[in-house]
Amino acid sequence: MGKEYISAEDIKYHLSNLKQLTFEVTDACNLNCKYCAYGEFYNDYDHRKNKKISLPAALKLIDYLVELWNSAQNVSANRNVYVGFYGGEPLLNMPFIKSIVDYIDNLHCPHRTFIYTMTTNALLLGRYMDYLANHDFNLLISLDGDEYNTSYRVNKSNESAYPLIIKNVDALKEKYPGYFMEKVNFNAVLHNRNSINEIYEFFKTRYNKIPSIGELNNMGIRPDKEDLFQRTYRNSRESLRQSENYEAIEQDMFMKSGTYQSATTFLHRYSGHVYHDYTELLFGQKEKTIPTGTCIPFGKKMFVTVNSKILPCEKIGQQYALGSVSKTSVELDFQAIADKYNAYYAKLERQCSKCRRYNSCLQCIFNLNNLNETPVCYGFMDEKRFHAYQAGQIDFLRKHPEEYYRIMEKVTVE
């Protein structure tokens, strides 16, 4: 038997203290975005069949989790559990969403507060905004900027979705201004028809919002689409640096900017002044013992696919499912999951033990190529690379000394 980095008991513990449960409500979508993670570029997802998730299976899973949340392994007097609805386009399966919300609202789970979240393309927002606002959904609307910026977001007839999205978003803002201000955010994808500057200016001017900006996922690309992918892909840091006032933009974007996220990671790991909680402060920071920066299974979230597969995250390939759920049972073998992770960790241990960035690694094991054979981490840092990384962070702080205090005083990461 190999080295045990995590145990079956650890997995049960994390499920008993789960922070986020996300359902892939349907794989159907009323858009046909060119860069969609379930679209033409990629080959690492289950074939899309316009399916809807099974409600009885989802309810079974909730019951299973509630038992754990009410068990002695729960360590919180109160904590939020984010219940997320993801797609496809989740609003295409509104009966499921309403049933889940209704079920959860009537649960006996005294140590949990449930918060509903949804990522939507907003095409059906006009029809469902009352329900979403009344149930205080955290809404993340996918929109890439102005009409041209958003032109990869097209409907099945290849027509721009922008006019309808904007009409619905404006109506939401008009009808529920308080809700819009507090609970609605935007998520933009960076590509060759927009830029960080354009995205930022659009949302700032039109909605006084700072959007999250993501790059195209470069994992699982079909070999025959590699060229097209490369032409569409834009790197966010390079895009940002092309704008004249990029420093001001970054400062305003703060933790939504890669630079600030990177500086925060650096300071959290290396300043020596960051403590997770009172016991860590009292007894000192614990040494990192697990290779890579992969989350412990269910340490952050659980993702349930439309095909009832259980994954630790929606961002990883579905071949890495850890279990499944049906209307009669939840299949999660804690020992098997621990064994699987331990075997993966063991493969990386040699590389990780020599990596100078071991303590601040963010590399998810599931985003490495050849994980089942001989994975190689391209984020590996020898002394020279680490020194350059360190110098880059220090240089940022030298140019923005007051931002050091802003990060240290304001940023909390759950």
The residue within the footprint of another protein, chosen from 108, 227, 287, 405 (CB under 8 A), is: 405
CB of 405 to another protein, least distance (A): 5
Determine if 282 is a binding residue for another protein (CB under 8 A): yes
CB of 285 to another protein, least distance (A): 9
Determine if 275 is a binding residue for another protein (CB under 8 A): yes
Nearer residue to another protein within complex by CB, 279 or 326 = 279
Residues 245-274 that bind another protein (CB under 8 A): 267-268, 270-274
- Point out which span in 32-40, 55-63, 124-132, 394-402 binds another protein (CB under 8 A): 394-402
CB of 122 to another protein, least distance (A): 22
Report the C-alpha gap between 237 and 102 in whole angstroms: 43
CB of 248 to another protein, least distance (A): 17
Determine if 335 is a binding residue for another protein (CB under 8 A): no
Report the C-alpha gap between 226 and 207 in whole angstroms: 35
Determine if 360 is a binding residue for another protein (CB under 8 A): no
The residue within the footprint of another protein, chosen from 17, 54, 292, 308 (CB under 8 A), is: 17
**Burial zone of 328 (CB within 10 Å; 0-12 exposed, 13-18 middle, 19+ buried):** exposed
Q: How many residues bind another protein (CB under 8 A)?
A: 43
Determine if 413 is a binding residue for another protein (CB under 8 A): yes
Determine if 11 is a binding residue for another protein (CB under 8 A): no
Determine if 402 is a binding residue for another protein (CB under 8 A): yes
Token pair of 181, please?
A: 């201000």
Report the C-alpha gap between 49 and 34 in whole angstroms: 18
Report the C-alpha gap between 87 and 190 in whole angstroms: 20
Cβ 94 vs Cβ 128: under 8 Å: yes
Residues 106-125 that bind another protein (CB under 8 A): 111, 113, 115
Residues 170-189 that bind another protein (CB under 8 A): 182
Report the C-alpha gap between 92 and 378 in whole angstroms: 39
Strand order in the sheet with 112-120: 212-214, 184-189, 138-142, 112-120, 79-86, 20-24, 302-304, 309-311, 323-325, 330-331
- Point out which span in 195-203, 333-341, 354-362, 396-404 binds another protein (CB under 8 A): 396-404
Determine if 391 is a binding residue for another protein (CB under 8 A): no
Determine if 277 is a binding residue for another protein (CB under 8 A): yes
User: Token pair 């005294």 is at which residue?
Assistant: 110
Determine if 223 is a binding residue for another protein (CB under 8 A): no
Q: Reduced to 3 states, what is the DSSP secondary structure of residue 358?
A: helix
Nearer residue to another protein within complex by CB, 228 or 274 = 274
Q: Reduced to 3 states, what is the DSSP secondary structure of residue 79?
A: strand
User: Measuring CA to CA, how many Å separate 112 from each of 337, 373, 397?
Assistant: 26, 41, 39
Cβ 102 vs Cβ 44: under 8 Å: no
Nearer residue to another protein within complex by CB, 158 or 289 = 289
Residue 347: closest CA among 321, 381, 370: 370
R_g (Cα) of the chain, nearest Å: 22
The residue within the footprint of another protein, chosen from 5, 11, 13, 69 (CB under 8 A), is: 13
Give 367-405 as a DSSP string.
Answer: GSTTTTS----TT---HHHHHHHHHHHHHHHHH-HHHHH
Determine if 378 is a binding residue for another protein (CB under 8 A): no
Residue ranges that bind another protein, judged by CB under 8 A: 13, 17, 72-80, 111, 113, 115, 182, 267-268, 270-279, 281-282, 284, 394, 397-398, 401-402, 404-405, 408-409, 411-414
